[in-house]
Amino acid sequence: MLTSSFDAVVPMICVALAALAVMAAEAFRGKNEKMPIGGLGIVGLVGAGIAAVLLWNRRSESFGVIAGDNFGLFITLVLVIVGILRMLFSGPVVERDGLPAGEYYALTLFAIVGMIMMATATDLLVIFVALEVLSLAVYTLTGIRRDSMAGTEAAFKYFLLGAFSSAFFLYGIAFAYGLSASTRLDVVGRYFAESATPDNPLALLAVGLLLVGFAFKISAVPFHQWTPDAYEGAPAVVTGFMSTGVKAAAFAAFARVFLSALYPMNTEWTPIVWLVAAATMIVGTVVGVVQTNLKRMLAYSSIAHAGYLLLGLVAAGANQDVGQIAKSAILFYLLTYAITNVAAFGVIAMLGSKARANDELRDYAGLGKTHPALAALMTVCLLSLAGIPPTAGFIGKWYIFTAAVGAGYYGLAIIGVLTSVVSVFFYTRIIVMMYMTERSETGALAPAPVVGMVALAISVVAIFYLGILPAQVMNLAAASIGTIF
């Protein structure tokens, strides 16, 4: 059913209202009063999820620049899941570390508003505005521990490099507008389909600048330098949010722009993305092997996973049948990676303390004895990131590699498989540390909070469900693709 109303912005409105409610609650609560204002965020996110489900197949549009198509709604649901898990993990951490609760939850929710806007926008300028909304919130969250020099340094580096990449992206929009006289994706797409020629330097420049802007946000090589420092310096719950929500939103916009508006230029940008994907998988895996800090290790893991997603993007530019499989695989992979990674960082957050982050590899020695349930849940997350069956990570990689082989990109698929094999080393190294190494330090780790354990249990159930029974979610991903591509 086709509608033309404000329906498409309802999920964003739900989250934005929750953010305003959090700010109001923070203003009215006393300094010593422990009001669970994080619950307001969960209410808003649940409302956004319900709105997305009700909008499914309705193809609503708001203001001509926000589309409520199934593709955007699928990403919205992924972001809702990430947001709810983030809220559940954050409660104990915010209280333990003395973080400003109102500021923390409000910034998180406003960042999610920007992410949803970015995933559903059909105009380059709106994508840019959404990018800045989520980026400014995440910059602040990265340095929310004002007494942490590492956090302040990470936020500053992230801000400077983010501003630099935004300039590239904005120049790309300017060139696209100069060529097509519009920033609407459908108009830009018609121009490139009807008027652009492969040797048009302005068209190539527009595509290249937009590619740089998106590559930075998804941590693709060589625009990944900010990632390890930002991930290490930020609180673990913020890092999990950065590595999942930001990546999902950015890749959704990346796919929407390059597989629709810029698809007529795919013969020009596909070789470049091929090289970027290969370099991203190799660098993320090889450098990740030598890391001893878990945040930095998972940062390079995040870089490698961006390479797998780019592999899917390259395959999506192939013939229609294989392209549809690749596009569906991208959405499925985003979901599985988001659930798995936010849970892994949730474990790191719960094991930390205000005085010490406990994010070094040696800090996990003997965790199987001191926190057996937490170690078991962390093991499942790591096996999923490594792509070991029967976890969701294995199925996600299987779909991506199958699409690449079907599209004829055998070399890139081989690189993906080999880097996946190498990555098993640094994931299993953590497992070995937890179960086969005695803890040398006498200080005991704090007990894991119940709410966080519940969130972890939900994540692990989802990991096994998507790994054993992926067909239904994959069918939903395929149904969402057909609405825009």
Residue 393: its pLDDT value, please? 94
Helix axes 101-120, 247-256, angle to 10 degrees: 20
pLDDT value at residue 1: 46
Q: In the numeric block, which tokens belong to residue 258?
A: 């390059």
341-385, pLDDT tens digit by residue?
Answer: 999 999 998 888 777 777 888 888 888 888 899 999 999 999 999
CA 39, distance to chain mean position in Å, is: 23
Indicate the helix (H) or strand (E) that contains 60: strand 60-62
Count other C-beta atoms under 10 Å from residue 56's C-beta. 17
Amino acid (1-letter code) at residue 85: L
Interacting residues of 335 by C-beta distance below 8 A, sequence separation 6+ = 78, 81, 392, 466, 473, 477
The conformation of residue 47, written as its DSSP 8-state character, comes to: H
The contacts of residue 41 (CB under 8 Å, 6+ apart) are 18, 19, 22, 83, 87, 105, 108, 109
Angle, alpha carbons 284-341-76 (nearest 5°): 110
304-332 per-position pLDDT tens digit: 999 999 999 999 877 666 778 888 999 99
45 touches 84 (CB < 8 A): yes
Q: Which residue has the tokens 């652009």?
A: 196
The pLDDT value given to residue 256: 92
pLDDT for residue 2: 46
Q: What is the pLDDT of residues 205-238, one digit of tens each?
A: 999 999 999 999 999 999 988 899 999 988 888 9
Task: Write phi, then psi, for 63 (nearest 5 degrees).
Answer: 60, 10
